[in-house]
Structure formats: structure tokens, C-alpha cells
Amino acid sequence: MQTLIKGTKEVLFLTLTDRLGTITDLTGVNVEQQLTTEDEKVVKQAWTTVLETAGMDVHALIDTTGWDEGTYKLYIRVNIPPELPILGPFLFGVS
């Protein structure tokens, strides 16, 4: 699990895989992220466009300013009509 430093803006790097092998590049595709607490009771960031994609890599910018230490969940939503899959959760820590 990746850990971010509390009070910073950092990028989490994820590599996605399409199990069917039909999607090989996310360039030009709207990819969004949502961040929640571990228990999913608090949404720390609603759906927003990710910082950047390259191939199947997602670079999610996360601003931990004002967050408590702990474990959080990152969800990725990929808008590839007619599908809108939500991937995750991808766990990460803040300390």
C-alpha cells in the first residue's frame, strides 16, 4: 500500500488492466477519481478528472491537506461509452 505524507499534494500512480484486452490506451478518455475514508462514510473528494493518463497508467493527484492519518480508498471511473465502470477500491495511507 502506498503512503502519502499528511498535508501534501502527491500523485498516486496506478496501472489499470482490461481483462478482456480490448482497451489498451486511456488517452482521450475521461477518467475520474473519487476519494473516501476507509469506512466510506466520508467522501474526501467527489468525482473529479484525474491529473493525467498515459497508456493504461492513471496519475491521480491527491491533496491530503487537513486529512487525518489513516487508510483511504481511491475509486477510478472510466467513461468508455456505453460503459462507465468504477474500479477499486485502491487503498492508500496518509501519515
CB 86 within 8 Å of CB 40: no
CATH of the domain at 51: 2.60.40.10
C-alpha angle 50-58-78 in degrees, rounded to nearest 5: 65
Structural domains counted in the chain: 1
Q: Which domain holds residue 63?
A: 2-94
Question: What is the overall mean pLDDT for the chain?
Answer: 93
Q: Tens digits of per-residue pLDDT, 60-92? A: 999 999 999 999 999 999 998 888 899 999 999
pTM reported for the whole predicted model: 0.92
**Given a cut of 90, is residue 8 above it in pLDDT?**
yes
Q: What's the rounded Cα separation, in Å, for the pair 46 and 21?
A: 29
